[in-house]
Amino acid sequence: MSEASIRACFHRTLPAVALLASLFAVSGARAQTDLLNVSYDPTRELYREINAAFIAEWNAANPKKIRGIRQSHGGSGSQARAVIDGLNADVVTLALAGDIDAIAGRAGKLPKDWQARLPHNASPYTSTIVFLVRKGNPKGVTDWGDLVKPGVQVITPNPKTSGGARWNYLAAWAWAERAFNRDEARVRDYIAALLRNVPVLDTGARGATTTFAQRGIGDVFLSWENEAHLALAEFGAGRLEIVYPQLSILAEPPVAVIDGNVDAKGTRAEAEAYLRFLYTPKGQAIIARHHYRPREPQHADPKDVAKFPLLTLVTIDEAFSGWGKAQPVHFGDGGTFDQLYKPGR
């Protein structure tokens, strides 16, 4: 290759380089006019609909338009970690308060009393943990006690990374405390036996759903109520069915504006309006349609509300004195989960 041909080659590639540079510029400019909602796994379908409804409403009333709301989904714990490490979220909509506490504590990007800034502990919807089993319930799983029977394979994600899995774990713990009259040794035996029946721990709820429903692994899947309904819709009611245990936990997935990020980006007004939209009648109706339990069911379609059976729901505050206590005791380094989960033994 001569010098001349190298030079010619260089000139030929110049337009391509310029084109690529322009692509870069376009994507850079777009990033500034968007909101970013960093969320947990099962909310993909919910926020797709919420986002479209909110953008339409906001853009009709405000001169400063929102071009789009970007979504990032993953296990609640790992998403919180990403925000702490600098993921530029305007709002977080995670699976549990403990994860937003971690953002407040480690990154200091929002005040510690963030949960008091919106109604209902900053949770516009609640959910609970139910059992998803194969059609006809071949292993006869009806309540928490059945999960430790030999030969029953239980699918649940990893509580270290998944918010849903932490609710699963605490729901099982709360049931056992009642069933064994607060005898802690028996509660721990029960949880250890339950974990021995778990063949694989996925990092997020959605991965676990696919493991159970698509790959056909396991007999019972401890699932968010909304995720169970979604799986039914996706994979057909002919293959799976939902079993409601007698007692479960009231899961309150909270939402928060990340003050440090919205103030830097100048998106505070949009971000706050976005979260408030979740509490409006329109927002509550969409929430119920996606099988989350709305805080104000009177605004939702009665047909959607009828799908939520009544069951005893314990709260994290009454059973575990809040996430501030439950997080380190059960899921911290060396917590009960670390003590009781012994894979491959």
Q: Considering only 23-31, 161-169, 250-258, 337-345, which stretch makes contact with another protein by CB under 8 A?
A: 23-31
Binding mask 87-116 for another protein (x = CB under 8 A): xx-----------------xx---------
Strand 247-249, strand 240-243: pairing: unpaired
Window 256-275: residues binding another protein (CB under 8 A):
264
Q: Do the beta carbons of residue 254 and residue 96 sit within 8 Å?
A: yes
The answer to whether 73 and 93 are in contact (CB under 8 A) is: no
Is 65 or 215 the residue whose CB approaches another protein more closely? 215
Q: Does 200 bind another protein (CB under 8 A)?
A: no
Distance from C-alpha of 108 to C-alpha of 105, rounded to nearest angstrom: 6
Bridge-based pairing state of the strands 312-314 and 247-249: parallel
Count residues binding another protein (CB under 8 A).
36
Task: Characterize 249-280 residue by residue with b for buried, 16 or more Cβ atoms within 10 angstroms of its Cβ, and e for exposed.
Answer: bbbbbbbbbbbbbbeebebeebbbbbbebbbb
* Distance, CA of 147 to CA of 179 (rounded, Å): 14
Binding part of the chain for another protein, among 16-24, 178-186, 285-293, 335-343 by CB under 8 A, reads: 16-24
Residue with tokens 């069933």: 179
* Cβ-based nearer residue to another protein, 15 or 136: 15
Q: Which of these segments, 66-74, 135-143, 221-229, 271-279, binds another protein (CB under 8 A)?
A: 66-74
* Span near another protein by CB under 8 A; candidates 36-44, 144-152, 164-172, 266-274: 36-44
Taking residues 209 to 248 in sequence order and writing x for each that binds another protein by CB under 8 A, - otherwise, the string is -x-----------------------x--------------
Determine which residue in the list 33, 57, 70, 280 makes contact with another protein, applying CB under 8 A.
70
Sign of the four-CA dihedral 129, 144, 247, 179: negative
Could you say whether residue 60 binds another protein (CB under 8 A)?
A: no
Strand, coil or helix: what is 326? helix
| Helix 44-61 / helix 281-289 crossing angle, nearest 10 deg | 160
152 binds another protein (CB under 8 A): no
85 is an interface residue for another protein by CB under 8 A:
yes
The torsion angle over the Cα atoms of residues 230, 235, 239 and 240, rounded to 10 degrees, is: -20
- Minimum CB distance to another protein smaller for 34 or for 317: 34
Binding residues for another protein, rule: CB under 8 A, are 1-3, 6, 16-17, 20, 23-24, 27, 30-31, 34, 36, 38, 41, 44-45, 70-74, 82, 84-88, 106-107, 206-207, 210, 234, 264
